[in-house]
Amino acid sequence: MTAILKVDNLSCRFGSLWAIHNVSFSVERGELLGLIGPNGAGKSTLYNLIAGAVSPTRGEIIFEDQRVTNLRSYEIARIGVARTFQIPKPYRQLSSVENVMLTAFQHEKSVGGARAFAAEILTDVGLKDYIDAPVTNLTVGLLKRLEVARALAMRPKLVLFDEIMAGLTPTEVGTMTKFVGSLPARGITVIWVEHVLYAIMKTASRIMVLNRGEIIADGVPAVVARDPAVVKAYLGEEMAFA
Amino acid sequence: MTTLGQLVLSGIFIGGIYALMSMGLTLIFGVLRIVNFAHGEFLMLAMYGAWAITKMLGLNPYFAALAIVPAMFLFGAVVHQVIVRPALDKPHLVGVFATMGLSILMQNAALMVMTADLWDVPPIFGRSVEVGPFYFKAELLLGFAVTILCSLFLQWLIRSTYLGKAIRATVQDGEAAMLMGIPVPRIFLITFASGSALVGLSACMMMPLFSVFPTVGLNFVLIAFVIVVLGGMGSIEGALIGGMCLGVVQSVSSYYVAPAYGQMFYFVLFLLVMIFRPNGLLGQKGAATIGIND
Amino acid sequence: MSAANTHQSQSTRFLFWPRRGSQISIFEMAIFAGCIAVAMLGLSQSLKDIAVLTFLWAGLALAWNIAGGYAGLISFGHAAFFGVGAYTSTILFLRFGLTPWFGIWCGGLIAAGFGAALAIICARLRGPFFILSTLAAAEVVRIAAMNWASLTGGPEGLSIPPVAGVTNMVFASKTAYAVMMLVFFACVYVVTKSLEGSRYGYYLYSVRDDADAASAAGVNPVLVRTAAMALSAGLTGIGGSLFAQYFLYLDPTFLISPDLSFQFALLAAVGGLGTAIGPILGSFLITPMSELLRSYLGSHAAGLHLVIYSALLIVVMLYFPSGIAGAITRIAGRRGKS
Q: Do C210 and A101 touch (CB under 8 A)?
A: no
Interchain contact C124–A (C-beta under 8 A): no
Give chain A positions within 8 Å (CB) of C217: 74, 77, 102-103, 105-106, 150, 154
**Phi, psi (degrees; rounded to nearest 5) at B212:** -110, 140
Residue C28 pLDDT greater than 80, yes or no: no
Residue C84 pLDDT greater than 80, yes or no: yes
A241 Cβ contact list (under 8 Å, min separation 6): A197, A198, A201, A202, A221, A225
Among A151-155, A218-222, B211-215, C24-28, where is mean pLDDT lowest? C24-28
Interchain contact B111–C (C-beta under 8 A): yes
User: Percent of chain B scored above 90 by pLDDT?
Assistant: 23
Residue B193's pLDDT is what? Answer: 95
* DSSP 8-state class, residue A134: B
Residue of C nearest to B106 (CA): C307
- Across chain C, what does the average pLDDT equal? 84
Give chain C positions within 8 Å (CB) of A96: none
Residue C327's pLDDT is what? Answer: 82
B 146-185 near C (Cβ less than 8 A): none
C147 Cβ contact list (under 8 Å, min separation 6): B260, B261, B264, C154
Other CB atoms closer than 10 Å to residue B262's CB: what's the count?
A: 13
Q: Do A51 and C208 touch (CB under 8 A)?
A: no
- How many beta-carbon pairs under 8 angstroms link B with C? 154
Residue C162's pLDDT is what? Answer: 83
Å between C287 CA and nearest CA of chain A? 29
pLDDT band at B258 (very low <50, low <70, confident <90, very high): low
Give chain C positions within 8 Å (CB) of B267: 136-137, 139-140, 143
Residue C1 lies in a domain: no
Interchain contact C203–A (C-beta under 8 A): yes
Interchain contact A132–C (C-beta under 8 A): yes
Interchain contact B281–C (C-beta under 8 A): no
Interchain contact C113–B (C-beta under 8 A): no
Interchain contact B229–C (C-beta under 8 A): yes
What is the Cα–Cα distance from B125 to B142, expressed in whole angstroms?
A: 11
Closest C-alpha among C107, C105, C133 to residue C120:
C133
Residue of C nearest to A129 (CA): C2
Chains that touch A (3 or more CB pairs under 8 A): C
Q: Which residues pair with C249 in a beta bridge?
A: C159
Domain coverage including residue C74: 26-260
Residue C87's pLDDT is what? Answer: 94
Mutation target to probe the C interface, by most C beta carbons within 10 A, among A44, A72, A94, A101 is A94
What is the Cα–Cα distance from A53 to C205, expressed in whole angstroms?
A: 20
**Maximum CA pair distance of chain A?**
54
Closest C-alpha among C176, C189, C197 to residue C31:
C189
**Phi, psi (degrees; rounded to nearest 5) at C182:** -65, -40
What is the pLDDT averaged over residues B205-226? 86
Residue C255 lies in a domain: yes
Mutation target to probe the A interface, by most A beta carbons within 10 A, among C20, C22, C23, C199 is C199
Residue C302's pLDDT is what? Answer: 67
Number of H helices, E strands in chain C: 15, 2
* Residues composing chain C: 338
What is the pLDDT averaged over residues C45-65? 92
Q: What proportions of chain C, in percent to the nearest 5, are helix, strand and coil?
A: 75, 0, 25
Interchain contact C123–B (C-beta under 8 A): no
Give chain C positions within 8 Å (CB) of A95: 18
Interchain contact A129–C (C-beta under 8 A): yes
Residue B201 pLDDT greater than 70, yes or no: yes
Residue C17 pLDDT greater than 80, yes or no: no
B 6-45 near C (Cβ less than 8 A): 35, 37
Is the four-CA dihedral C159, C162, C165, C169 of positive or negative sign?
positive
B 51-110 near C (Cβ less than 8 A): 83, 86-87, 89-94, 96-98, 100-105, 107-109
User: Residues B173-211, buried b or exposed e (16+ Cβ, 10 A)?
Assistant: ebeebeeeebebeebbbbbbbbbbbbbbbbbbbbbbbbe
Residue A239's pLDDT is what? Answer: 52
Residue A237's pLDDT is what? Answer: 52
Q: What proportions of chain A, in percent to the nearest 5, are helix, strand and coil?
A: 40, 25, 35
What is the Cα–Cα distance from A172 to A140, expressed in whole angstroms?
A: 13
Smallest Cβ–Cβ distance between C74 and the set B83, B93, B215 belongs to: B93
What is the Cα–Cα distance from C331 to C334, expressed in whole angstroms?
A: 5
Mutation target to probe the C interface, by most C beta carbons within 10 A, among A74, A81, A84 is A74
Residue C141 lies in a domain: yes
Interchain contact C133–B (C-beta under 8 A): yes
What is the Cα–Cα distance from C28 to C39, expressed in whole angstroms?
A: 17
What is the pLDDT averaged over residues C190-208? 92
Give chain B positions within 8 Å (CB) of C317: 87, 93-94, 97-98, 101
Among A183-197, C31-45, C63-77, C278-292, where is mean pLDDT lowest? C31-45
Three-state helix/strand/coil letters over chain B: CHHHHHHHHHHHHHHHHHHHHHHHHHHHHHHHCCCCCCHHHHHHHHHHHHHHHHHHHCCCHHHHHHHHHHHHHHHHHHHHHHHHHHHHCCCHHHHHHHHHHHHHHHHHHHHHHHCCCCECCCCCCCCEEEECCEEEEHHHHHHHHHHHHHHHHHHHHHHHCHHHHHHHHHHHCHHHHHHCCCCHHHHHHHHHHHHHHHHHHHHHHHCCCCCECCCHHHHHHHHHHHHHHHHCCCCHHHHHHHHHHHHHHHHHHHHHCCHHHHHHHHHHHHHHHHHHCCCCCCCCCCCCCCCCCC
Residue C223's pLDDT is what? Answer: 96
Helix (H, G, I), strand (E, B) or coil at A13: strand
Residue C86's pLDDT is what? Answer: 95
C 318-337 near B (Cβ less than 8 A): 318-319, 321
Q: Do A106 and C16 touch (CB under 8 A)?
A: no
Q: Do C126 and B270 touch (CB under 8 A)?
A: no
Residue C94 lies in a domain: yes
pLDDT in tens, B31-57: 888 888 999 999 999 999 999 888 888
Residue C338 pLDDT greater than 50, yes or no: no
Residue B129 pLDDT greater than 90, yes or no: no
pLDDT in tens, A180-211: 999 999 999 999 998 888 888 888 989 999 98
Residue of A nearest to C197 (CA): A111
Strands B128-131 and A66-67 come out as unpaired
Residue C208 lies in a domain: yes
C 231-290 near B (Cβ less than 8 A): 258-259, 262, 265-266, 269, 273
Residue A143's pLDDT is what? Answer: 92
* DSSP 8-state class, residue A184: G
pLDDT in tens, C131-190: 888 988 898 899 888 888 888 888 888 888 888 888 878 888 888 898 899 999 999 999
Residue of B nearest to C301 (CA): B112
Q: Do B275 and C131 touch (CB under 8 A)?
A: no
- Compute the CA torsion angle C52, C55, C57, C59 (nearest 10 deg): -140
pLDDT < 50 positions in chain A: 240-242
Q: Do C126 and B288 touch (CB under 8 A)?
A: yes
Q: Do B287 and C139 touch (CB under 8 A)?
A: no
Interchain contact C299–B (C-beta under 8 A): no
Residue C336's pLDDT is what? Answer: 44
User: Percent of chain C scored above 90 by pLDDT?
Assistant: 43
First-to-last alpha carbon distance for chain B, in angstroms, is 48
Interchain contact B135–C (C-beta under 8 A): no
Residue C126 lies in a domain: yes
Give chain A positions within 8 Å (CB) of C16: 93
Overall number of domains in chain C? 1
Residue C242 pLDDT greater than 90, yes or no: yes
Q: Do C218 and A85 touch (CB under 8 A)?
A: no
Task: Note whether A157 and A125 are within 8 A (CB).
Answer: no
Residue C118 lies in a domain: yes
Closest C-alpha among B102, B225, A46, B123 to residue C129:
B225
* Residues composing chain A: 242
Residue C18 lies in a domain: no
pLDDT in tens, B217-254: 888 888 888 888 777 777 788 888 888 988 888 887 77
